[in-house]
């Protein structure tokens, strides 16, 4: 255990040193929020993947597969499809639109693109992002607490507080550039863990005469069925509930879209696409196998909290010095993902609300300091959420995914691909997504069909209807001109 502790400390110090080194490169507000378009595509791809997954994938998804069995594959299928779609069809579009409108954030882009209701759009999208992503940050901090509890028996509250301190220091120091480079290292470490651990687990199962197929057959519930043992309409519900993570990847997650916006050129975008897609297949394949192997190694009632399965397997199956490196990488991945989400919340406050919506003119130095103060403030709120929340990581992230990703994804898709989308449509999309998510997760409806699915379509329908009913003035002028010509 001493070896693991030493490696933990050394790893965290190394990450802090990297964050400090790159903090010196953040000289402008653009550098602090978007890296100044100076980062390579492969680094942004690694960062985007680490940001998109982290505690959710390492702890939440592996525990989910352990509970649900083979049907958990449809979550991975939905997410992989969303990631591939985003990198192939949206990344370059984000890059071009960022250059065209000279914007730094997702709310700022929507406001610049639909100028008629720019301030309303900025306020609504910023409130939506800050409100839901705070729970996402809290989920990461709770994940760090679980990691330290499993590894050292440390009280989760102490682990959460320690993780919060490191998270705030990294984001405070260097902003986006520091976060991307530390993310890149964590992303590689996550991939090593998710590839090596299932291989070691399969060797252990083989050498100890265990059987995955037999364990699946003997386990309680329907873990042995690809569709959860359901038939008819229930199969469709299960498929959509699990596959529905797909809808949140369609441009609506600002912490992921920021990586697309930071791309320099098409060559870097192509490079990033290859890296992100390969990473996704390896990481999700490995995470699914970890959950399935755990069913063969452990009895299903042996965990009070299934989201500690991955660190437990690392400690049980790996030599201490390797376990220390992998567990340190897992913890640091959680930390840097929280940093990325904190940066999105910070940018919504400093750039979208204070600088643009309120029109307060500040120097570059003042904007950076407002961003840094926001990092501390919202980091502490995330810590409080982590300390008082009893919900599982999988559940909390699912709600945040619906509230932000599945609300803003239809807004982005309609903006990119439908010329009749209007500023009133954007407002309607955001309001419909916000309220439908809050109502859905507060009722038994969430247990029937997930808000990730319903929020996307409710938000899209409202956006389309209000765009047709209330077109922007320039759209109305074009329509009148066409009618006169006819």
Per-residue pLDDT at 394 exceeds 70 = no
Contact assessment for residue 49 and residue 187, using Cβ atoms and an 8 Å cutoff? yes
In the structure, what pLDDT confidence band is assigned to residue 381 with cuts at 50, 70 and 90?
confident
More confident residue, 428 or 360: 428
Residue at 181 is within a domain: yes
Rounded distance, CA 59 to CA 145, Å?
12
Residue at 211 is within a domain: yes
Query: For position 195, what pLDDT does the model report?
Result: 92
Per-residue pLDDT at 40 exceeds 70 = yes
Query: For position 37, what pLDDT does the model report?
Result: 65
Query: For position 198, what pLDDT does the model report?
Result: 93
CA distances from 381 to 231, 299, 338 (A): 44, 37, 12
pLDDT digits (tens, 9 = 90+) for 47-62: 888 877 777 788 888 8
In the structure, what pLDDT confidence band is assigned to residue 231 with cuts at 50, 70 and 90?
low
Q: 231: which DSSP letter?
A: -
- Which contiguous run of DSSP H or E holds residue 468? helix 451-469
Task: Please state, as a whole number, how many other Cβ atoms lie within 10 Å of the Cβ of residue 184.
Answer: 22
CA distances from 78 to 37, 240, 329, 450, 455 (A): 30, 9, 26, 14, 16
Residues 7-35, mean pLDDT to the nearest whole number: 64
Domain that holds residue 192: 2-393
Give me the percent of the chain exceeding a pLDDT of 70: 85
Residues 444-464, mean pLDDT to the nearest whole number: 88
In the structure, what pLDDT confidence band is assigned to residue 411 with cuts at 50, 70 and 90?
very high
Per-residue pLDDT at 458 exceeds 70 = yes
Residue at 140 is within a domain: yes
Q: Which two tokens stand for residue 113?
A: 């693109």
Task: Please state, as a whole number, how many other Cβ atoms lie within 10 Å of the Cβ of residue 120.
Answer: 18
More confident residue, 143 or 36: 143
Rounded distance, CA 287 to CA 182, Å?
22
Query: For position 87, what pLDDT does the model report?
Result: 94
Q: Which two tokens stand for residue 443?
A: 């009722």
Residue at 473 is within a domain: no
Residues 83-106, mean pLDDT to the nearest whole number: 90
Query: For position 9, what pLDDT does the model report?
Result: 78
Residues 151-165, mean pLDDT to the nearest whole number: 81
Query: Whole-number mean pLDDT of the chain?
Result: 81
Query: For position 486, what pLDDT does the model report?
Result: 43
Q: Please count the structural domains in the chain.
A: 1
User: CATH code at 105?
Assistant: 1.20.1730.10
pLDDT digits (tens, 9 = 90+) for 312-337: 899 889 888 888 888 877 776 777 67
Residue at 93 is within a domain: yes
pLDDT digits (tens, 9 = 90+) for 184-225: 887 888 888 899 999 999 999 999 888 888 888 877 777 777
Query: For position 482, what pLDDT does the model report?
Result: 40
Query: For position 416, what pLDDT does the model report?
Result: 93
- Per mean pLDDT, which of 27-36, 37-46, 88-97, 354-363 is the most reliable? 88-97
Query: For position 435, what pLDDT does the model report?
Result: 92
Q: Which residue has the tokens 């791309």?
A: 263
Per-residue pLDDT at 242 exceeds 60 = yes
pLDDT digits (tens, 9 = 90+) for 357-375: 777 776 767 777 777 787 7
Contact assessment for residue 437 and residue 407, using Cβ atoms and an 8 Å cutoff? yes
pLDDT digits (tens, 9 = 90+) for 106-137: 888 998 898 878 889 988 998 888 888 787 78
CB neighbour list of residue 178: distance below 8 Å, 6 or more residues apart: 18, 19, 20, 22, 23, 26, 170, 171, 339
225: phi > 0 → left, psi -120 to 50 → alpha, else beta; which? beta
Residue at 438 is within a domain: no
């Amino acid at each position: 255990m001493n070896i693991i502790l030493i490696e933990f400390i050394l790893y965290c110090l190394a990450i802090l040193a990297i964050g400090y080194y790159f903090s010196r490169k953040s000289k402008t507000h653009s550098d602090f929020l978007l890296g100044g378009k100076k980062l390579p595509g492969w680094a942004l791809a690694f960062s985007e993947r680490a940001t998109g997954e982290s505690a959710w994938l390492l702890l939440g998804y592996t525990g989910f597969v352990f509970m649900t069995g083979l049907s958990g594959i449809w979550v991975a299928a939905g997410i992989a499809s969303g990631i591939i779609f985003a990198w192939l069809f949206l990344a370059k579009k984000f890059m071009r639109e960022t250059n065209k409108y000279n914007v730094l954030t997702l709310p700022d882009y929507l406001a610049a693109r639909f100028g008629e209701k720019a301030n309303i759009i900025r306020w609504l999208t910023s409130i939506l992002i800050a409100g839901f992503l705070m729970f996402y940050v809290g989920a990461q901090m709770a994940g760090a607490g679980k990691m330290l509890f499993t590894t050292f028996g440390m009280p989760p509250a102490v682990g959460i507080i320690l993780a919060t301190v490191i998270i705030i220091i990294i984001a405070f120091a260097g902003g986006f550039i520091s976060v991307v480079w530390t993310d890149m290292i964590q992303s590689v470490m996550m991939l090593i863990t998710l590839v090596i651990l299932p291989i070691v687990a399969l060797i252990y199962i083989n050498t100890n005469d265990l059987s995955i197929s037999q364990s699946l057959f003997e386990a309680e519930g329907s873990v042995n069925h690809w569709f959860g043992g359901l038939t008819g309409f229930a199969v469709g519900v299960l498929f959509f509930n699990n596959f529905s993570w797909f809808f949140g990847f369609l441009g609506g997650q600002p912490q992921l879209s920021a990586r697309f916006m930071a791309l320099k050129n098409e060559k870097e975008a192509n490079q990033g696409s290859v890296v992100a897609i390969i990473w996704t297949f390896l990481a999700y394949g490995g995470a699914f196998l970890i959950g399935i192997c755990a069913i063969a190694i452990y009895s299903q009632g042996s965990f009070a909290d299934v989201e500690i399965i991955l660190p437990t397997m690392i400690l049980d199956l790996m030599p201490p010095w390797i376990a220390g490196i992998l567990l340190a990488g897992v913890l640091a991945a959680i930390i840097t993902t929280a940093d990325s989400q904190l940066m999105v919340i910070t940018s919504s406050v400093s750039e979208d609300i204070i600088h643009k919506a309120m029109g307060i003119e500040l120097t570059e130095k003042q904007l950076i300091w407002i961003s840094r103060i926001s990092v501390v403030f919202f980091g502490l709120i995330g810590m409080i959420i982590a300390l008082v929340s009893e919900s599982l990581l999988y559940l909390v992230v699912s709600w945040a995914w619906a509230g932000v990703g599945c609300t803003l994804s239809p807004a982005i898709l309609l903006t990119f691909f439908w010329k009749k989308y209007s500023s009133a449509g954007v407002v309607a999309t955001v309001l419909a997504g916000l309220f439908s998510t809050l109502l859905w997760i507060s009722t038994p409806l969430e247990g029937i069909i997930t808000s990730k699915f319903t929020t996307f379509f409710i938000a899209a329908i409202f956006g389309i209807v209000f765009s047709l009913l209330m077109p922007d003035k320039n759209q109305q002028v074009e329509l009148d001109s066409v009618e006169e010509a006819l």
